């Protein structure tokens, strides 16, 4: 997508082999049902730095319809789609940028099929990359990332936390929030300790977070 759509994680060191006092609530929240494979994408190619920009109010309805058509035309089944407000840090601009995007669930598709569909979307909408996430069993050798969804976070709070935390904005890059205030971040396993610390500043309650292990890919 050009920027990373992430679901900020409160998982800690569970998959890194260390088990501490915080692991129990994290483990209890993990893998509360695997959704269908996911594609995170947008049709936006502009750099938007003003949170009041009218382009951030689009619901991407035509884009949603077209992507569902792409999914269907490539032998998969389009599932639910969720509108997201992204907040990202631009190291080049030294300020936050904003983006409207959608998360699409894709049924009846394998890893190669998901990759192909994401590649079609990237080319059709001139995207630097399109993020995919496949939820997997925690012990799978293919697991390289975690998706966390946590309620009670606003885009404004995410913005303020990124601005205040140079390490998080440089290494995590940013995140997305649904219109209902649900934080969404897909992050590599290696970034979990940092993501856990960062989510604390956002007031994430790990007991209510959904933690899913899986495989992420940025498809160009």
Distance CA 179, CA 187 (A): 21
pLDDT at 28: 38
Task: Find all residues with CB under 8 Å of 140, minimum gap 6, and list them.
Answer: 213
Distance CA 114, CA 217 (A): 10
Indicate whether 2 belongs to any domain: no
Indicate whether 151 belongs to any domain: yes
pLDDT at 8: 37
For each of the chain's 220 residues, which pLDDT tens digit applies? 544 443 333 333 233 333 233 443 334 344 457 889 999 999 999 999 999 999 999 999 999 999 999 999 999 999 999 999 999 999 899 999 999 999 999 999 999 999 999 999 999 999 999 999 999 998 899 999 999 899 999 999 999 999 999 999 999 899 999 999 999 998 898 898 898 889 888 999 888 888 899 999 999 9
**Residue 20: which domain range?**
14-219
Indicate whether 156 belongs to any domain: yes
Indicate whether 5 belongs to any domain: no
Indicate whether 9 belongs to any domain: no
Is the C-alpha dihedral spanning 194, 199, 202, 203 positive or negative?
negative
Indicate whether 99 belongs to any domain: yes
Distance CA 29, CA 23 (A): 10
Indicate whether 75 belongs to any domain: yes
Domain count, the chain: 1
* Radius of gyration from C-alpha coordinates of the chain: 16
Indicate whether 178 belongs to any domain: yes
Q: Which two tokens stand for residue 160?
A: 């303020």
């Amino acid at each position: 997508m050009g920027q990373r759509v992430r679901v900020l994680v409160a998982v800690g060191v569970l998959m890194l082999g260390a088990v501490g006092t915080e692991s129990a609530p994290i483990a209890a929240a993990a893998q509360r049902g695997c959704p269908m494979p996911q594609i995170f994408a947008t049709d936006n190619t502009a750099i938007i730095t003003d949170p009041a920009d009218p382009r951030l109010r689009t619901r991407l309805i035509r884009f949603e319809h077209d992507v569902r058509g792409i999914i269907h035309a490539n032998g998969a089944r389009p599932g639910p789609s969720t509108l997201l407000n992204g907040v990202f840090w631009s190291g080049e601009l030294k300020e936050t940028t904003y983006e409207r995007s959608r998360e699409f669930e894709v049924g009846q598709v394998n890893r190669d099929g998901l990759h192909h569909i994401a590649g079609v979307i990237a080319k059709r909408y001139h995207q630097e990359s399109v993020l995919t996430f496949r939820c997997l069993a925690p012990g799978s050798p293919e697991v390289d990332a975690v998706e966390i969804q946590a309620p009670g976070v606003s885009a404004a709070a995410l913005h303020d936390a990124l601005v205040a935390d140079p390490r998080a904005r440089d290494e995590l890059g940013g995140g997305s929030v649904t219109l209902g205030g649900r934080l969404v971040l897909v992050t590599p396993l290696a970034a979990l300790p940092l993501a856990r610390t960062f989510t604390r500043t956002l007031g994430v309650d790990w007991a209510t977070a959904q933690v899913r292990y899986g495989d992420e890919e940025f498809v160009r």
